[in-house]
Structure 1
Amino acid sequence: MNRYDLAVYIGRFQPFHDGHLACVRQALDLAANLVVLVGSINRPRNIRDPFGYAERREMIESALPADLRDRVVITGVADRLYNLSSWVAGVQGAVDGIVAAVAGGEASITLVGHRKDHSSSYLDLFPQWDFSPVEPVSMLSATEIRDVLLGEGASSLDETLAAQPLPDGVKSYLRDWIGAEPDAWESLRQEWAFVRRYRSQFAALPYPPIFQTVDAVVLQAGHILMVERGAQPGRGLLALPGGFLDVEETIEDAVIRELREETGIKVPEPVLRGSIRARARYDDPQRSLRGRTITDAFLFELRPGPLPRVKGGSDARKAQWISLAEFQSLEARIYEDHYHIVQDLLGRA
């Protein structure tokens, strides 16, 4: 007899491994049905999030034993890095919708998970549900699996996959996916190699470095100024104009310099400085693949009129004005947390 009508299991599943499958089995020992809530569904493809929502959904489906599939509902929720309440509301809304469909609006619910470190703090955000800890079969790490696949998987893919703690269905799915998406896989491998080389520069330091960057959110007449990245990491993604702070400059000087270097914007510097409407610091520990990076973002609001001419420069392949309406649909093409920075700064303004 199941103690609950519904269990909820939240994760990124990049990729779905044997430990995840063990948690699914334990959750279904507790509840009649299970919601697997896939997180980070609108992230651009990168070495931390190499697989989109649809791909992870197919992985999970391929891993589920036939006798359990009818008891599992898979859905997703988008990140909201600087608006935790919005993310919580998204999770609640997804679960409420499934409760209405599966249990007619009333259900006993338990949240399942394993408290492994600070990344598990989300388990305390849903006091309306019981919490049921699950026992990890072993301390499996999706990060370690990704590192092995991206670092070794090109020369001996079949052997590498065979050695990983992945359900057989996931191994087959990954083998087929890599064969069908060779360009995407090679791009991920190049990004992985770049990040490893980048981090190796600091390997001899007694402690990990902390980097300071700046980003410019420039608005005019319902448009936002974006650049296309020409270098790794994130080559080809849309990003805010910005870069690293120089040793002998203020943070405001740095954002003006980077804005002008990357976009060539035809606006005098005094006008840019006078157009700053807001400023905020963004420090999510996982916001950058290169390492611990804190950024100060500035909101520039230019007076209505013709959009100034822009042209990509420095490490920006090109610069362009994008309507705010179009910007809202581009989350999966925007570098790092820049989409979330814009949302937060617009809310502050």
Structure 2
Amino acid sequence: MNRVLFPGRFQPFHNGHLSVVKRLLEGFDEVVIAIGSAQEGFTCRNPFTAGERLEMIARTLKEEALFEKAWLIPVPDINMPMAWTTYALSLVPRVSSIASGNPHVLELFKWTGFKTIRVELVEPDKYSGAYIRQLILEGNEYWRKLVPNAISRYIDEVNGAERIREVCRNEHSRN
């Protein structure tokens, strides 16, 4: 099986991520989406839990008829970057390559001997989890155009916009 690992936090999974998954599936049989920082949730930087992100991504991939070609694996942080690579690899199915738009992630996996693929990010200023969370925080509905419809609906279902406003307000008031 020709599989590629695509790690990220996906806070939230957006149209840029979906574009990368589609491009990766042009050259690989399957993509393993490693949902990083899986131990985090209900914070300003990581408002959604691993389970919520898993469900959001699964719904999107089902709507796109890509679910059968993807693995979704939550991977917690261990705060040791070099050890995290082998830790992550121990949690996912075997892969032949690692794909990321993050040069640091690629360097870590390259050091372990894996073939790495630098993915070109689609309009990274626009398709960025931080930017999308900022738009939500500001009450700007433009964020909905940056995520797949399944993600927008899911965020509404879990009152995600209100959660982001609440956890960010609480974190900023403590600082």
TM-score for the superposition, normalised by structure 2: 0.85
Of the candidates 128, 134, 151, which is equivalent to residue 147 of structure 1? 134
Q: CA RMSD in A?
A: 2.3
List alignment gaps of at least 5 residues for structure 1: 100-106, 154-159, 199-231, 234-289, 291-349
For 1:71, the equivalent position in structure 2 comes to: 69
Secondary structure in structure 2 of the residue aligned to 1:138: coil
Give me the whole-angstrom Cα distance separating, in 2, the residues matched to 1:169 and 1:191.
23
TM-score for the superposition, normalised by structure 1: 0.45
Aligned 8 A contact 2:42 2:163 in 1:
no
List alignment gaps of at least 5 residues for structure 2: none
How much does 1:50 deviate? 0.2
Of the candidates 25, 32, 38, which is equivalent to residue 28 of structure 1? 25
Higher Rg: 1
For 2:10, the equivalent position in structure 1 comes to: 13
Q: Which amino acid in structure 2 is aligned with residue 67 of structure 1?
A: A
Task: State how 1:1-349 maps to structure 2 within 5 Å.
Answer: 5-64=2-61, 65-81=63-79, 83-95=80-92, 98-99=93-94, 109-115=96-102, 120-127=103-110, 128-139=113-124, 140-152=127-139, 160=141, 163-178=144-159, 186=162, 188-193=164-169, 232-233=173-174, 290=175
Structure with the higher fraction of residues in helix conformation = 2
- Number of equivalenced pairs: 170
Aligned 8 A contact 1:6 1:31 in 2:
yes
Specify whether residues 21 and 187 from structure 1 end up closer, same or farther in structure 2 by C-alpha distance, changes over 3 A only.
Answer: closer
How much does 1:170 deviate? 0.6
Note the alpha carbon deviations across 1:205-240, whole angstroms, 9 max, x for none. xxxxxxxxxxxxxxxxxxxxxxxxxxx54xxxxxxx
Identity of aligned residues (%): 25
Q: Which has the higher contact order (CA 8 A, sep 6+)?
A: 2
Give me the whole-angstrom Cα distance separating, in 2, the residues matched to 1:44 and 1:170.
16
Specify whether residues 14 and 121 from structure 1 end up closer, same or farther in structure 2 by C-alpha distance, changes over 3 A only.
Answer: same
How much does 1:112 deviate? 1.1
